[in-house]
Chains A and B, each alone.
Chain A
Amino acid sequence: MPVLSNYWFQNTDFRGNTEFLSQPHCAGCWAWINWSNIGSTESTLVWERSDGEIIVDLPPILNAPDILAAVDAIISSPASRTSGINAGWIPWKYVPYYGSAPGRHGDLDLLVNIFFNFHVSTPWYCSDADGSIHYYVVPYLDGGGHLGAYVDGWSYHYDGGGPFCTGAINDKLNAGVPGGVGTLQKMLDTRLALFARSTFSTLYLLPGSGDKTGVGNVNVDDHCSLVLLP
């Protein structure tokens, strides 16, 4: 039985806190959604879901021990990871390095934003810093229908470190974060190898865990699933 999933987003261009509702319906029938109190939302998406969906919930996979260990090696003392690994979607036009080459992707092409929080301890004459490190991944199907993905870029930002330590913090992050691209790509390649024998016709992302029933709430900036159709 097909399922109609409706997503309402807090922000324009399908970003931020997301309310969702999935409604199974018979083929050739209306799918009814009455929701009188959807709150303050600025964009919405609807997707007709097939029974054949293969849903890959990304955060649980990315928080596997070997990946966490590899990520922890990207940043070293006095910096440390302070959160699990999140994986949300981000339209290309909102990726921090968009301005360096806007034509690299379509404005509303979706990248997977893989990120985690970090803390940097500083000497007494500076405040400690807290921020997040991001890697932007492009999933795709090639001409043979095989699943691929590559790390397209990176970014970081933080608060604190003032008044004298932001330079040293940037130096450390500029040395470590770009180097993490190769680490993450190896991890992706290992996971993608599990799909090497399969071919697919369609690839898309869905907010959260890709639930097919009921209502829920998730921040799509933090959590999305990759969905494949044979």
Chain B
Amino acid sequence: MENQKMSQTEIAKKIQACLKEIGIFAEVSVSQHEVIVYGQKEQEGGRLRIVSQISDRTVTPAGQGPVAHEVARAHLGTAMVRPSLSSRSYGQQKKATTEAISEKIGLESES
């Protein structure tokens, strides 16, 4: 990773040097996975924008994750009634949870 980062930075410096040769003073932004070289130049009444990105990953604009299984288990181990749209009634749900816990305890005591 360190070598890769050095390589990315070297590439960025070379791009920056090339841009400087043609009169564009570019800046470099370095983050953990990307290096961006960006610069602008006024030209014939317009503005020329140049941006280069050197990246080691493909990014999707989303992320997600559950809390640790142990945290969830600690709570769900004590949960008897939960909101659900499954077809069984709450009475059935509570009964089923109690039976499941009893069964689990029984299995653990046997093992």
Contacts and interface: CB of A to CB of B under 8 A. Distances in A.
A109 B87 CA distance: 11
Interface stretch (B7-15, B16-24, B62-70, B103-111): B62-70
Given A156-B63, A161-B61, A204-B90, A91 B75 contact: no
A167 B57 contact: yes
Contacts of A13: 85
B49 interface: yes
A142 interface: yes
Chain B interface size, under 10 / 10 to 19 / 20 to 34 / 35 or more: 35 or more
Contact of B79 (A89, A108, A142): A142
Nearest to B56: A167
A178 to B, nearest CB: 6
Interface in A179-204: 181, 202-204
Contact of B51 (A131, A153, A164): A164
A33 interface: no
Interface in B50-92: 51, 53, 55, 57, 59-67, 69, 71-72, 75-76, 78-86, 90
Given A139-B82, A140-B79, A152 B72 contact: yes
Contact of B64 (A97, A129, A131): A97
Contact of A166 (B61, B64, B67): B61
Interface residues of A, number: 57
B66 A104 contact: yes
A153 B63 contact: no
Interface stretch (A53-61, A77-85, A169-177, A210-218): A169-177
Interface in B34-58: 34, 36, 38, 40, 49, 51, 53, 55, 57
Contact of B61 (A96, A140, A158, A178): A158
Contact of B80 (A143, A163, A168, A178): A143
Given A125-B36, A167-B55, 13 more contacts: A106-B84, A139-B82, A143-B78, A143-B80, A150-B71, A159-B61, A164-B51, A168-B34, A171-B31, A202-B81, A203-B81, A204-B90, A205-B83
23 contacts: A100-B65, A101-B69, A106-B84, A108-B84, A109-B83, A124-B49, A125-B36, A125-B49, A138-B75, A140-B75, A143-B78, A150-B75, A151-B67, A152-B66, A152-B67, A155-B63, A157-B63, A158-B61, A164-B51, A167-B55, A170-B63, A202-B90, A203-B82
